[in-house]
Structure 1
Amino acid sequence: MLKEIHCFVRVAERLGFSAAAADLGMSQPAVSQAITRLERATGVRLFERSAREVRLTAEGKGLLPYARQALESAQAFTAEAARLARPTIHLAYPPLVGTLAARIARRLAGRAPAIGVELVVAGRSAAAQALDGGEVSAAILATPAPARFVTAARFHVTVDHLAVPLGHRLAGRGRVTADDLGGQVVLTPGGRAWVGLPGRARMVADDDFSAALDLVAAGAGLLPIPQLLVRAVRREDVRFVPLEAGELRITYALAWARERVTPELMALVQAVQDALWTR
């Protein structure tokens, strides 16, 4: 029946059997026969035909939107079936590396055979729990990752700015050095120690920089932050000042449970490595 409905829609759009047949790659008699079969099946006359023109009947006009909807539903069904049939892996990642995660997903979708990727935003502890429970295939974690996981494809994110609350004495500076942080509370997302930074460290649950920026705005501390996140965040209550404090960086790696290695996972590892080399 879908073939007949497709012919009906195309003839209705072209108002001609020959033109519709050319579009469909069919012969004109085959299209005409398909319309006849559909009219018999529905008991409704769809077109008024004459030697000069083809016109939709009132009934045909009424059925046309439903015919288009049927074709769209069939296309959606086919697309979803294809998606479900292909291998899929679940990748957890922190928001900070979302651009990389998206690039990895595109690479796997474009390979042959394609591999689907379900992206799951998760902080360090949530991602580790998801790995343990088998809810995700792999996760991008700040290192050192828990020893129970296998890791590969390490990369670094440079931390070169300091988030300070609006009105803070450092907010108007052109730059800040490590010496300026003496006596300040320095936030450490995920319990990450900022090596070489003075000041009093305050641990922030998980590695959620967005939540940490809320603490900055509230005056709870200052936050070392990567420039790539600075470019993506717009806040009126926080100022981002360039930070010169040596080689301050966060190291991430792809991690997975050693007992859950699959060909799709190995393809993911390769895609991560390729994405890191070609950015």
Structure 2
Amino acid sequence: MLREIQCFAGVAARLSFSRAAADLGMSQPAVSQAVSRLERATGVRLFERTARQVRLTAEGRTLLSYADRLLEAAAEFSSEAARLTRPLIHLAYPPLIGPLAARIARRLAGRAPAIGVELRPAGRGDASAALTRGEVSAAILATPAPAPFGTAARFHITIDHLAVPAGHPLWARARVAPDDLTGQVLLTPGRSWTGLPGRPRVVADDDFGAALDLVAAGAGLLPSPQLLVRAVRRDDIRFVPFDAGDLRITYALAWSRERVTPELMALVQAVQEALWTR
């Protein structure tokens, strides 16, 4: 009966059997027969038909809202059934590269057949543990990745700014050089900044947001990539351009060598494509 209700709603929207038939990709006689079957099954006259016009009866207007809700529920049912049967990838990623993770998810959702992606923001330690336990299919990790994992699609994020707190002597500088960091505390989210002067202080793993709170509190300075500069607007922190040379963070897609699937290979391809295009 769902097809008959769809025809009823189509005719009610257009007040025309021929236009409803065109919308539904059916012949006009087939639509007319479907509406007649629904009228017989319900014992309700839905339309008043004349040679010149089609009008809803009072009973038809009452039933139309029920028909619309039923068709909406049927569409939601079909959508959810399709979601439940499509392959699903669980991807852990550092919050810093959230825009890239979103592009990857969109690419996989747009392919045929579609692959769903559950995104899980996580620092390196949590992501590695989840990957080991099989809770995620893959993870984007700062390199080097732990030895048991396979990797692909490496990419680099250049460090080109320094986050400094309000009132700091470097706040008003137009540009900072490595020599300016002598004696300063450098916050290092899960890594050390090789080759920079200053005293390193390791903070929450891959959590640049928490590190910025420490900067604002005067606990240290934070070498930062352009991705962070574009995403953050704070009055208590200034990102000063930083001549850091070849300082960068390298990331790669990592996965368990024991759990290689066609969906995982599609993920590798999607990551590579997302890196090549913007």
Shorter-chain TM range is over 0.9
Paired amino acid for 2:76: A
Q: Secondary structure at the match of 2:194?
A: coil
1:37, distance to aligned residue in structure 2 (A): 1.9
* Equivalences for residues 79-118 of structure 1 within 5 A: 79-118=79-118
- Bigger shift: residues 269-278 or 96-105: 269-278
* Equivalences for residues 59-78 of structure 1 within 5 A: 59-78=59-78
In structure 1, the partner of 2:252 is 253
Paired amino acid for 2:183: G
**CA displacement, residues 157-190 of structure 1 (integer Å, 9 cap, x when unaligned):** 0011011112211111101111111121111102
Paired amino acid for 1:51: A
In the alignment, structure 1 residue 7 sits paired with structure 2 residue 4: no
In structure 1, the partner of 2:31 is 31
In the alignment, structure 1 residue 225 sits paired with structure 2 residue 224: yes
Matches of 1:266 and 1:233 in 2, distance apart?
34
Q: Structure 1 residues 168 and 257 mapped into 2: Cα distance closer, same or farther (>3 Å)?
A: same
Q: Secondary structure at the match of 2:141?
A: strand
Contact in 2 for aligned 1:196/1:245 (Cα 8 Å): no
Contact in 2 for aligned 1:131/1:139 (Cα 8 Å): yes
Structure 1 stretches lacking a partner, 5+ long: none
Paired amino acid for 2:261: T
1:60, distance to aligned residue in structure 2 (A): 1.7
Matches of 1:128 and 1:227 in 2, distance apart?
25
Matches of 2:14 and 2:30 in 1, distance apart?
16
**TM-score scaled to structure 1, two decimals?**
0.93
Q: Secondary structure at the match of 2:231?
A: coil
Q: Secondary structure at the match of 2:101?
A: helix
In the alignment, structure 1 residue 45 sits paired with structure 2 residue 63: no
Structure 2 stretches lacking a partner, 5+ long: none
Paired amino acid for 1:195: T
Paired amino acid for 1:233: V
Matches of 2:244 and 2:136 in 1, distance apart?
36
Q: Structure 1 residues 154 and 26 mapped into 2: Cα distance closer, same or farther (>3 Å)?
A: closer
- Bigger shift: residues 34-43 or 87-96: 34-43
Contact in 1 for aligned 2:151/2:253 (Cα 8 Å): yes
In the alignment, structure 1 residue 215 sits paired with structure 2 residue 246: no
Matches of 1:273 and 1:14 in 2, distance apart?
47
In structure 2, the partner of 1:196 is 195
**CA displacement, residues 128-153 of structure 1 (integer Å, 9 cap, x when unaligned):** 12111211100000112222222222
In structure 2, the partner of 1:271 is 270
In structure 1, the partner of 2:234 is 235
- Bigger shift: residues 80-89 or 206-215: 80-89
Contact in 2 for aligned 1:7/1:34 (Cα 8 Å): yes
1:250, distance to aligned residue in structure 2 (A): 0.5
Contact in 2 for aligned 1:47/1:54 (Cα 8 Å): yes
Paired amino acid for 1:99: P
Q: Secondary structure at the match of 2:250?
A: strand
Q: Secondary structure at the match of 1:160?
A: strand
**CA displacement, residues 7-26 of structure 1 (integer Å, 9 cap, x when unaligned):** 11111111122222232232
**TM-score scaled to structure 2, two decimals?**
0.94
CA RMSD of aligned residues (A): 1.7
Contact in 2 for aligned 1:185/1:199 (Cα 8 Å): yes
Q: Secondary structure at the match of 2:145?
A: coil
